[in-house]
Amino acid sequence: MPHPEPVFAPPPEPVPFTFDPRAELPSTAEVVVVGGGMVGASAAYHLARAGMPPLVIEANTPAWGASGRNAGMALAGIGGHFPRVTRLVADAGGRSILDYTARSLDMLEAWDAELSGGIEWDRFGSLDLATDPAEEAHVRRMAELQAAEGLDVRVVNGTELRDLAPGLAADEVRAAKWTPRDAKLNPFRLCYALLETVRQLGGTVVTGVRVDRLLAASGRVAGVATSHGEVSAGAVLLATNAWTPALAPHLAANLTPIRETVCVTEMVPFSVGRPGFETNQCNEYWRQMRSGEVVIGGFAVADEGMGIGSYSIRVRPHVPPLLAALLARMHPALADARIIRCWAGLLDFASLEMPMAGPLPAEDGTPLPGAYVAAGLTGHGHPYAPILGLLTAELISGGEARTLSLAPFDPRRYVGVAHAPTWLEPFQGTATIPH
């Protein structure tokens, strides 16, 4: 059957949910955070720490969205997006995107120590594997660029690669980008532990309630209308990933849902290597969990319409065999490991690859005081969610982001204009890096 053409700006769809008749929704809140994924949880945590414990409204359960469906890699170099995002940061007067992403990884490490139960944080580095000449050229150029920005990164092969990852079929790999300070983690623990702290600090987390629209009065945000009635609030943060355009249709032209598939093997009683692994310009990625299972995701490009522009999270059956074959090729010891479960989730790709975080303007571009958004993380939640949660919380509670500038992430760059996506070639693994 021929695959449909990709749709870059599909009509917005609200997040699917099951109405919870027992949900107890307050009628007022100082600040509402919409979404209980890693972005909402991070912002809510920092708001609570700043003395403004929020009301978090989640349509499903915490981590129901991408935050509970991802592969748990934390890559400061944000894959193939690095060169273009670096340029946008410089254009906005910032120093380096690493100021943000590397700080996020340090925040995650601190949370692992601080949050009850930890987040299974393993800072064992990542290996970006190049298996053909084009990928090798890409890996080498990317390593140069990232090193020039200050990332601890270098290219390895041969014996050094074998020592770093004894379970890897090193003969399949021409060269690998080794980033020793990258990490892996359990993303469920991240969301649940942050939200538990929010509750302890006086915040409220309500699930099974969907926000249907923002309420405005006298030119500013007045609250939200939900499946369970209205809540009046002085500030509302949309942390709603690919479903953001259902609440802010003026972002739809620049925020594309992309379906990606993840599979997990049965527990295997040996190590396939301690680092996290990526290949094909970070379009496929995998890691072994502490409990022994191997989680692998990717191959969106082989999905219907490349998975682009679909809100469906149904797994397409031809994708998991591709993931299983890649695992068997890279780790021959996994050739007989059974895949025990597969799922899919939605990435929210921002047209210019730069997330949006900060004040959300009205549809005509004029300010809408009290409205905020943090979305468009473009496939790299862990390097962005901790720091963007902190900066938006500082903005909401104190009027400005103090730790770092939010200017590079200004949502206004995405309002009133439809940018042609710059992510398509890197997403297909065909991009060359601009000089």
DSSP character for 208?
S
Instruction: Give DSSP secondary structure letters for 304-324.
Output: GGGGBT----PPPTTHHHHHH
Give the C-alpha separation, 241 to 221, whole Å: 20
Q: Tokens for 46, please give them.
A: 């920092």
Taking CB under 6 A as the rule, which mask of x and - marks residues 72-91 in contact with ligand FAD? Answer: xxx-----------------
Hey, which residues between 281 and 300 contact ligand FAD (CB under 6 A)?
Answer: 285, 297
Coil, helix or strand at residue 275 = coil
Quick check: 37 binds ligand FAD (CB under 6 A)? yes
Coil, helix or strand at residue 353 = coil
Q: Which stretch binds ligand FAD (CB under 6 A): 125-133, 151-159, 381-389, 427-435?
A: 381-389
Minimum CB distance to ligand FAD, residue 269 (Å): 24
Q: Tokens for 381, please give them.
A: 């939640």
Q: Which stretch binds ligand FAD (CB under 6 A): 29-37, 106-114, 317-325, 356-364?
A: 29-37
Minimum CB distance to ligand FAD, residue 15 (Å): 4
Minimum CB distance to ligand FAD, residue 301 (Å): 13
Minimum CB distance to ligand FAD, residue 158 (Å): 27
Q: Tokens for 393, please give them.
A: 């919380």
Give the C-alpha separation, 300 to 306, whole Å: 5
Q: For residues 315, 317, 322 and 324, what is the CA-based torsion angle, rounded to 10 degrees?
A: 80
Hey, which residues between 224 and 283 contact ligand FAD (CB under 6 A)?
Answer: 239-241, 243, 247, 260, 262
Q: For residues 377, 67, 223 and 257, what is the CA-based torsion angle, rounded to 10 degrees?
A: 50
Give the C-alpha separation, 3 to 1, whole Å: 6
Backbone angles phi, psi at 277, to 5 degrees: -125, 145
Residue from 155, 205, 346, 356 in contact with ligand FAD (CB under 6 A):
346
Residue from 12, 29, 31, 40 in contact with ligand FAD (CB under 6 A):
40
Nearer to ligand FAD, 144 or 230 (CB): 230
Minimum CB distance to ligand FAD, residue 166 (Å): 23
Residue from 8, 70, 127, 350 in contact with ligand FAD (CB under 6 A):
70
Residue from 29, 38, 205, 356 in contact with ligand FAD (CB under 6 A):
38
Give the C-alpha separation, 351 to 348, whole Å: 9
For ligand FAD, the binding residues (CB under 6 A) are 14-15, 34-40, 57-60, 64-67, 69-74, 210-211, 239-241, 243, 247, 260, 262, 285, 297, 345-347, 375, 377, 379-383, 385
